[in-house]
């Protein structure tokens, strides 16, 4: 059984292609594969099933075993895998995800840099979702861990809670993030970004992901944080998002979101039968 490791700005994923990994996935198997001590270790799994009628369809799983509607680094990685594995030969492809279709344009022959149409962003409470009456969740006071924060909530296919701060840090993201992720305000839980405004074209973020915790980078988080800053009138429509793992370029056209960034292939992982037997028991 083989799987393929990639990363997008230090947000690493394992690609499981049913042609090389012929085992059904379940939450327990996902958790063990993603475990950084007892398994291969990863920020998530990108699964290519043979059951889909569209060959480019991807299922996205978080290390906690839950399924995500979309992943920005994930779709860039999956597009690179499709090219590396010889499935994709065109310079532009459409990848269906649970949270809507994305369109990937390869910007070089190797496919290590690409521009992705991530779909439409929205702050509408019913689309995220956020409990309460239907409204635009922009600059709304919310309480987490007994403290009040002004938040802007965004869906780009998956849910995000964006909090603007004068200073941000990994420690702060890891302290507050779990309370936001699991707040009763968010029926599907939520990804959280802590955002420092640099200028009209630059923001810096720290990320606490739903089902994954702290990550070095996140494509959908970058889209959500940039869109939230745009909706609050803080930035223009061309924003560089800086994260601990690197930078992504976000462009906003009305509510349409475009993300440009790199992907890196790390290598193939061949699972020993001993570990495969462990997975089969789950
Ligand atoms: N944890 C996210 C999915 C991965 C997002 C992130 N890795 C990205 O690059 O967008 C969720 O549950 O919606």
Whether the Cβ atoms of residue 245 and residue 9 lie closer than 8 Å to each other? yes
Q: What is the pTM of this model?
A: 0.97
Of 54, 52, 97, 51, the closest CA to residue 72 belongs to 97
Task: Count Cα neighbours of 245 within 13 Å in the Cβ-side half-sphere.
Answer: 21
Phi/psi zone of residue 12: left (φ > 0), alpha (ψ -120 to 50 degrees), beta?
A: beta
> ipTM of this model?
0.98
Q: What integer pLDDT is reported at residue 58 of this predicted model?
A: 98
User: Does the annotation list 50 as a binding residue?
Assistant: no
- The answer, yes or no, to whether any atom of ligand 1 lies below 6 A from the CB of 158, is yes
Q: CATH assignment of 122-254, given 3.90.650.10, 3.40.50.720, 3.10.310.10, 1.10.260.40? A: 3.10.310.10
Q: Do domains 2-117+264-280 and 122-254 have the same CATH topology?
A: yes
Q: Please state the separation of Cα 281 from the chain's center in Å.
A: 29
Q: CATH assignment of 2-117+264-280, given 3.30.565.10, 3.40.50.300, 3.40.50.720, 3.10.310.10? A: 3.10.310.10
Q: What integer pLDDT is reported at residue 53 of this predicted model?
A: 86
Q: Which residues of the chain have pLDDT under 50?
A: none
- The answer, yes or no, to whether any atom of ligand 1 lies below 6 A from the CB of 220, is yes
User: Does the annotation list 73 as a binding residue?
Assistant: yes
User: Does the annotation list 220 as a binding residue?
Assistant: yes
| pLDDT digits 0-9 by tens, 90-105 | 999 999 999 999 999 9
- The answer, yes or no, to whether any atom of ligand 1 lies below 6 A from the CB of 212, is yes
The rounded Å distance from CA 274 to ligand 1 centre is 30
Domain boundaries of the chain, sorted by first residue:
2-117+264-280, 122-254
The rounded Å distance from CA 236 to ligand 1 centre is 24
């Amino acid at each position: 059984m083989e799987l393929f490791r990639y990363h997008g700005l230090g947000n690493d994923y394992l690609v499981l292609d049913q042609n090389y990994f012929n085992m059904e996935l379940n939450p327990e198997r996902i958790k063990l594969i993603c475990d950084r001590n007892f398994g291969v270790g990863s920020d998530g799994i990108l699964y290519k099933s043979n059951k889909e009628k569209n060959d480019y369809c991807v299922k996205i799983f978080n290390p906690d075993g839950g399924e995500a509607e979309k992943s920005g680094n994930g779709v860039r990685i999956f597009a690179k895998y499709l090219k590396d594995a010889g499935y994709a030969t065109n310079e532009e492809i459409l990848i269906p995800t649970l949270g809507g279709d994305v369109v990937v344009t390869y910007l070089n022959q190797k496919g290590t840099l690409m521009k992705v149409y991530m779909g439409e962003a929205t702050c509408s409470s019913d689309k995220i979702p956020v409990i309460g009456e239907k409204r635009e969740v922009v600059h709304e006071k919310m309480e987490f861990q007994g403290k009040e924060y002004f938040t802007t909530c965004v869906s780009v296919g998956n849910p995000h809670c964006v909090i603007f701060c004068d200073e941000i840090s990994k420690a702060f993201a890891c302290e507050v993030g779990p309370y936001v992720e699991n707040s009763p305000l968010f029926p599907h839980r939520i990804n959280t970004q802590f955002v420092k405004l640099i200028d009209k074209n630059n923001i810096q973020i720290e990320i606490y992901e739903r089902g994954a915790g702290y990550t070095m980078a996140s494509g959908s988080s970058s889209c959500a944080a940039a869109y939230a800053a745009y909706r609050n009138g803080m930035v223009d429509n061309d924003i560089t998002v800086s994260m601990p793992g690197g930078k992504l370029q976000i462009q906003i056209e009305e509510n349409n979101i475009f993300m440009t960034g790199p992907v890196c292939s790390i290598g193939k992982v061949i699972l020993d039968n001993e570990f495969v037997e462990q997975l089969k028991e789950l």
